Amino acid sequence: MIPSGILSDLFGRRRVFLISYSGNILGTAGLIVAHDPMALLVLAAVQGAFEGGHAIVGPPFMVEQSRPAERVHLFSIGSFLTVGAASLGNILAGVLPIAFAPVLGLGPESAGTLRAGLVCVLPVMLCSALPIYLIDEQWQPIDIKRWWRSLESHGTISMLALTEGGAGLALGMTAPFFAVYFAHELHASTTAIGVIFGAGSIVTAFATLLGPVVVRRLGRVRTVAYLKFLGVPFLILIALAPGVITAGVAYVLTIVFIGGAFPNKSLTDPIYSLFSMEVVKDRERGTTNGIMHAFSEFPMGVGAWIAGPFMASGNWTMPYCLAGAVYALAFLIFFAYFSRVESARALAAESVA
């Protein structure tokens, strides 16, 4: 993740974007034709590496291809489309093998029908790369020594990494176990879990469109911090809920305000992503986003390791309470540091105007 960000700072977002798309497409095509288990594992790893590459480059590229007044709307709409498209993709992943099974004369879970479903993915991936190819990016490549000397926002990047680390730790304590909790603790049916999780994705997708409205009233930092704080009680309520309905409502509100595992992004995630790109220099954006993702992923594993023994012993409340406390602390630190940064940026903008 971090190397992708650094490469985009050195050689340009569009170039790294297209390389990542190409690698992802080739990896997916390889999965269709490969039969050896080891080859499948290697290709899946290659596909994941390139997928991570364009995920890192996306926010810096969006910032640099838009005007300041458009960015909140752009990031909110982008998040809406990401969540919506991922949810639709999950549905199609289940439907396509069933549709191809009678045509191919195979079972819906056979390798042949799954490969046929993957074939349908390739045209979509190619089409998604076309808009990036058509965008003209004016980027002057620089050598790594010059780039290293130009890095200045060490404190800002460190605080963003700290926030991501706290959020990732809390997410790891809860998100991987949501389905397990609903099934084993609340005895929810598979259908009920699917409805609850689907509702969370749909409501969150539309909630992200409200981001610009909230930002106009509160500003970027307060929007992120206040709504994250608002989600903490709902997160804890999931573990304290007496039944599936209460826990389901609390889950949906938690996803809206705090977020969850991909594709579930909270209402504030696009605002947070935009703000993190605006408070660092142009040549630091890719590196910053790569560091933020790295500091989110590793703590998620640590959080799951912490929560696992509690849940295995039947203590579901403690991990949720710990996660809520970590979330609150992480975004309290975020608010304390970046509210001053936002005020300073506002004053600078007024003086220029």
Does the pLDDT of residue 86 top 70, yes or no? yes
CB atoms within 10 A of CB 190: 10
- What residues contact residue 334 under an 8 Å CB cut-off, 6+ apart? 159, 163, 221, 224, 225
Kindly provide the b/e burial profile for residues 101-129, where b requires at least 16 CB atoms within 10 angstroms of the residue's own CB.
Answer: beeeebebeeeebbbbbbeebeeeeeeeb
Alpha carbon of 76 to those of 59, 80, 127, 272: distances in Å? 12, 6, 22, 11
Q: Which residue type, as a one-letter code, is found at position 332?
A: L
Spans of all domains in the chain:
2-134, 149-352
Distance CA 210, CA 268 (A): 9
pLDDT tens-digit map of 111-149: 788 888 888 888 988 888 888 889 888 888 888 888 888
pLDDT tens-digit map of 223-254: 999 999 999 999 999 999 989 999 999 999 99
Distance CA 125, CA 201 (A): 22
pLDDT tens-digit map of 13-27: 998 889 988 888 888
Does the pLDDT of residue 350 top 80, yes or no? no
pLDDT tens-digit map of 137-186: 888 888 888 888 888 888 999 999 999 999 999 999 999 889 889 988 89
CATH architecture designation of domain 149-352? Up-down Bundle (1.20)
State residue 248's pLDDT score.
94
Distance CA 200, CA 17 (A): 30
Instruction: Decide: 264 and 138 in contact? Cβ < 8 Å.
Output: no
